[in-house]
Amino acid sequence: MSEAARLRVLVAAFGDPGHAFPALALGRALVGRGHRVCFESWKRWRPDAEREGMEFSPAPEYTVFPRPGETALAPYQAAVRATNQARSVVRELQPHVVVADILTVAATLAAEVEGVPWATLVPHPLPIREPHWPPFATGARIPRSPIGRALWRGFDPLVRRGERQGRDELNGARTRVGLPPIERLHGGISRRLALVATFPQFEYEREEPNDWMEVTGPLLWEPRYEGSEAPPGDDPLVLVAPSTSQDPDHTLLRATLGGLADEPVRVLATTNRRTPEERIAVPPNARLVDWFSHSREMPGAAAVVCHGGHGTVARA
């Protein structure tokens, strides 16, 4: 690739694996095409980003999902604090484009302040609904009858109230970094380009397609991990892959290990590198590890038990 055709891209991602992994996959693909990529996220991802050929810039880390007794900044408070640092990265890199994960507001604000085009990476279905659709993340299917459409329209006032609150909070952050307010809802999603990293089958069929929305298919990435950890034997293998951000007490993990203890299956379960505060009982037919390779273990599994996170479901 000629230097003139080589792009400088800043890829910014929230640090939880469900958001960092798709962004790392995108960065890896861009590097593979010859572009210069800087990855901005939590410092834990530096070795992985650099291993994939990217530069790295650490992002400020704030508690977003507090445990009992912890305090957390409101998302837009954190975004305002992080914007100045993101602006420094933008000025130094001088990217042709900034691609920001849907939760990484600071990078989008910094790009706009510095006059750089920005796109959004959505690591799950697009969370913008039409008036007669179920609220996002309910898992309900699109209504098939006038009664169904009328039922879901009844949620419109509540949903719109939440969307307007989000817009007002975003506008508060925009004002504090010197940007004008915007009128549209879902202002944190680019209307120039939104990369929706899911299967087309997971997306509702929209009555009015958005020309700024591109469904790419899942962007799959995982840390390098050597060796299979599955228990020996010929019984069906069940994988237990809890959320990487929710369920801090490992409730799903404990319940699944207990429920499958006497079943004729092998169980491979992970804590996702989140050390439990209390010991987890592991039955003889199970193995509990810090992490396992989804790409290596899932092809031989009979079932996967998870919280329904997009990355795990897409990989399965």
pLDDT at position 179 over 90: yes
Burial class of residue 265 (count of CB atoms within 10 Å of its CB; 0-12, 13-18, 19+): middle
pLDDT for res 130: 86
Q: What is the sign, positive or negative, of the torsion defined by CA atoms of 41, 44, 45, 50?
A: positive
Asked if residues 46 and 31 have their Cβ atoms less than 8 Å apart, the reply is no
Q: What whole-number distance in Å separates Cα of residue 279 and Cα of residue 259?
A: 17
Q: What whole-number distance in Å separates Cα of residue 58 and Cα of residue 35?
A: 20
Q: What is the pLDDT averaged over residues 234-262?
A: 89
266, two tokens: 């092998």
Q: What whole-number distance in Å separates Cα of residue 203 and Cα of residue 199?
A: 7
Q: What whole-number distance in Å separates Cα of residue 22 and Cα of residue 183?
A: 29
pLDDT for res 304: 95
Measuring CA to CA, which residue among 147, 307, 315 is closest to residue 241? 307
Q: What whole-number distance in Å separates Cα of residue 239 and Cα of residue 192?
A: 39
pLDDT per position as a tens digit, 118-149: 999 999 999 998 888 898 878 788 888 999 99
Strands 194-196 and 266-270, bridge-based pairing: unpaired
Domains of the chain: 8-215 (3.40.50.2000), 237-315 (3.40.50.2000)
Q: What is the sign, positive or negative, of the torsion defined by CA atoms of 252, 196, 40, 227?
A: positive
**How many other CB atoms are found less than 10 A from the CB of residue 91?**
11
Residue 250 or residue 66, greater confidence: 250
pLDDT at position 221 over 90: yes
CA 105 → CA 127, 128, 135, 268, 300, distances in Å? 16, 17, 22, 36, 39
**Gyration radius from the chain CA atoms:** 21
Q: Is 155 helix (H, G, I), strand (E, B) or coil?
A: coil
Q: What is the pLDDT averaged over residues 206-232?
A: 86
pLDDT per position as a tens digit, 23-46: 999 999 999 999 999 999 999 999
Looking at every residue in the chain, the average pLDDT score rounds to 90
pLDDT per position as a tens digit, 81-104: 899 899 999 999 999 999 999 999
User: Which neighbouring-strand residues pair with 119?
Assistant: 99
Determine which helix (DSSP H) or strand (DSSP E) holds 281, and give its type and residue range: none
Residue 53 or residue 206, greater confidence: 53
pLDDT for res 208: 77
pLDDT for res 72: 67
Q: What is the pLDDT averaged over residues 108-117?
A: 96
Helix axes 156-176, 75-93, angle to 10 degrees: 50
184, two tokens: 């549209």
pLDDT at position 107 over 90: yes
Cβ-proximal residues to 23 (8 Å cutoff; 6+ apart), any chain: 11, 12, 13, 39, 41, 99, 101, 121, 123, 219
Q: What is the pLDDT averaged over residues 247-256?
A: 88
Strands 118-122 and 97-101, bridge-based pairing: parallel
Q: What is the pLDDT averaged over residues 219-223?
A: 93
Q: Is 89 helix (H, G, I), strand (E, B) or coil?
A: helix
pLDDT per position as a tens digit, 46-82: 999 999 999 999 998 876 666 666 666 677 788 888 9
